[in-house]
Amino acid sequence: MLVESPEDRKAFVTHMPGGQVTLYMFVILLTCSALCYLPGLFVHDVTQACTILLFVSTVLIDCDINYWVNRRGLDFWNHMRLLIDNCFIVISLGMYLSCTKKKSVEEKPLLKND
């Protein structure tokens, strides 16, 4: 969606350092994170990466209220809702990290003896 929407792409390229390269690296990292969540591989590490990526994008892109409301014509309260949604996603990822511990390679799940 970030690559397909011209408004989102332009906002990302103008607000993030690195331009198009950063855009595609961001999309690749989020896609790899989503693919790691599906089978449950490296969930703690992926959550840390997602927290950092979404925090940076929220601060640099979504917090520029003047850009979205005055230049792009987005309604103020719609933008506030999107900004609050992103903030709560970052907070929930942080809560997940604070409530779980990273599993080491040596830890194996307990198997039931049937």
**pLDDT, tens digit, 9 for 90 and up, residues 56-98:** 988 988 888 888 888 888 889 988 998 999 999 999 999 988 8
Tell me if 95 is assigned to some domain.
yes
Parent domain of 53:
6-99
Q: pLDDT tier at 99 (50, 70, 90 boundaries)?
A: confident
Number of domains in the chain: 1
- Residue 112 maps to a domain: no
Q: Please indicate, yes or no, if residue 40 is contained in any of the structural domains.
A: yes
* Average pLDDT over the chain, rounded to an integer: 84
Confidence check: pLDDT of 110 > 60: no
Is residue 108 assigned to a domain?
no
Look at residue 46 and tell me if it is in a domain: yes
Residue 43 has φ and ψ, to the nearest 5°, of -60, -45
CA-based nearest residue to 68, from 23, 30, 12: 12
Residue 25 counted as domain residue: yes
Q: Is residue 114 part of a domain?
A: no
